[in-house]
Amino acid sequence: MRAREYDAIIVGASFAGLAVARELRGEVLLLDRHEVGSHQTSACGTPLWVPQALGVGESVLQVHRHVVVHAPSRTVTFDLSDAPYCTFDYGKFSRGLLEQSRARFLRTSVIWFADSAVETTEGRFRAPCLVDCSGWQGVLVDAANEGVPPGPAKSFGLETETDYRGEALYFWANPERFREGVAWLFPTGRGSRVGLASYLGRTKLKGALQRFVGDLAASPTAYHGTYFPSGLGAATAGRIFVVGDAAGHCLPFTAEGIRPALYFGQECGRLLQRVIERAMSLDRALQEYRRRVEAYRWAYRLLALAQWAVIHMPDRWLGPLAEFAAHPRIMPRWWPRYSRFGSLRAPGLLAGTLAKGRSTA
C-alpha cells in the first residue's frame, strides 16, 4: 500500500499539536485517536492573556484574581490582579485553535512508525517533518527510541467536577490531608474542578480525592486522570520534533502544562514552516529547536527542586515559605517572570523571561 505524502505530520491534537498546526501552511496532517476537544485531562487553568492572545477568549468560564494556598499553619492569599488567571472550556479552546489551522485532521490511532512513515488505522502516511505531541505516552518517541531508558519521572493527577463554587484558585499543601503532593480547586462559574496530584506518580488516588471532596461538602461526578512529567526531556528523537508532555514540557511543582505546550509548539511550528518553505534544512531546524528548549532547562530544574521540597521539608515550614513568596516586596520579583512565560508577539507566542538571554533566531 502506497503511503500518502504530506509536508508534515503531527501526532496528537491537544494544546501542543494544535499550537504546531496553527503555525503551518502547507500539506499538514494532524492525527489523534480522539475528536479535537473531546478528551480533557487538564484542569484547564491558565493566565487570562493566553486565550485572549490566541483568539479563543469565548472559551473562558471564570476569571480569578487571587490564589489561596492552604498550608498546615496558615492560609496565604496571592494577589493576581496584575495578571489574572482563568478557567476555560477545553472543547471550545481546542476547536477554536483547530479552526485557525489549515491542517487536515484525521481521527485515528497510530499503529506503527518507521522511516518517516506512520501507519494508522486509516492508512499509511509519510512526511519529512514529523512531530510527536501525543502526551506522556510519546507514541513516535517510543518507537524511535526503542530500548532506550524512559525519560523524566512522572507525576499523576486525578480530578473530578463538583457543584462547589468559589471566587479564587485554591491549593492545599497540607501533609495532614495529602503527604505526597498538592490538592486544588478551580472554580468554573457553575461548579469547580477538584483534584489531587501525586508528585510520586501514585495512581490510586480516588479514595483520597473522595475524602477531600467530602470535606468540602461537595458531590463528585466523573473522574479523569493522567500522568504528567516532572522534568524536561529530550526536544527531539532522531529526526522527530517532540512537543508538550512527550518532551517533558509540563512545568514541575505547579504542573502547568498548557503554556509550555503552546509556546514550544509555536516555536516548533515556526521552524517547521521554514523547512516547508525550504528556507531552512530539517537538520538545522532540529538543532535550533533543541537549542531553544535547552535554554529553559535551568528553570525546570529550579521548579523540580521546589516540587521535591514540598514533600520533604518539615510541615511547619510550608506556611511561612508561602507567606514569604506572597509578600508585596517579594512577589513582584518572581511572579512577572513566571506569569509571562510564553508572552504574545504577533503573529504567535514569544518566550517570557524564564529563559534570560536566549537569542531568537
Cα–Cα distance measured from residue 337 to residue 357, given in angstroms and rounded to the nearest whole number? 13
C-alpha of 136 from chain center: 11
The x, y and z cell numbers of residue 150, run together, are 524512559
Q: Are strands 129-132 and 8-11 parallel, antiparallel or unpaired?
A: parallel
Cβ atoms of 11 and 133 within 8 Å: the answer is: yes
User: Within the chain, where are the H helices?
Assistant: 15-23, 49-53, 90-99, 139-144, 206-215, 258-276, 282-294, 297-312, 315-325, 331-339
Cβ atoms of 8 and 104 within 8 Å: the answer is: no
Domains along the chain with CATH numbers = 4-40+89-152+233-349 (3.50.50.60)
Hey, is 79 helix, strand or coil?
strand
With CA atoms as reference, report the closest residue to 150 among 217, 262, 61, 227: 227
Residue showing cell 506569569: 339
Beta bridge partners of 11: 31, 132
The pLDDT score that the predictor gives to residue 348 is 36
**Residue 149, phi then psi, degrees to nearest 5:** -55, 150
Cα–Cα distance measured from residue 88 to residue 176, given in angstroms and rounded to the nearest whole number? 31
The pLDDT score that the predictor gives to residue 346 is 37
Q: Are strands 123-126 and 169-172 parallel, antiparallel or unpaired?
A: unpaired
**Residue 110, phi then psi, degrees to nearest 5:** -80, 130
Cα–Cα distance measured from residue 248 to residue 50, given in angstroms and rounded to the nearest whole number? 20
Question: Average pLDDT for consecutive 10-residue bins of the chain (361 residues)?
Answer: 89 97 97 95 93 96 96 93 94 97 96 90 95 92 67 89 93 81 94 94 92 87 91 93 95 93 96 98 98 92 92 91 95 87 46 34 32
Cβ atoms of 144 and 241 within 8 Å: the answer is: no
Q: pTM higher than 0.75, yes or no?
A: yes
Sequence letter at residue 349: L
The pLDDT score that the predictor gives to residue 161 is 93
Cα–Cα distance measured from residue 31 to residue 44, given in angstroms and rounded to the nearest whole number? 22
Hey, is 339 helix, strand or coil?
helix
The pLDDT score that the predictor gives to residue 343 is 60
Sequence letter at residue 197: A
The pLDDT score that the predictor gives to residue 349 is 35
The pLDDT score that the predictor gives to residue 150 is 61
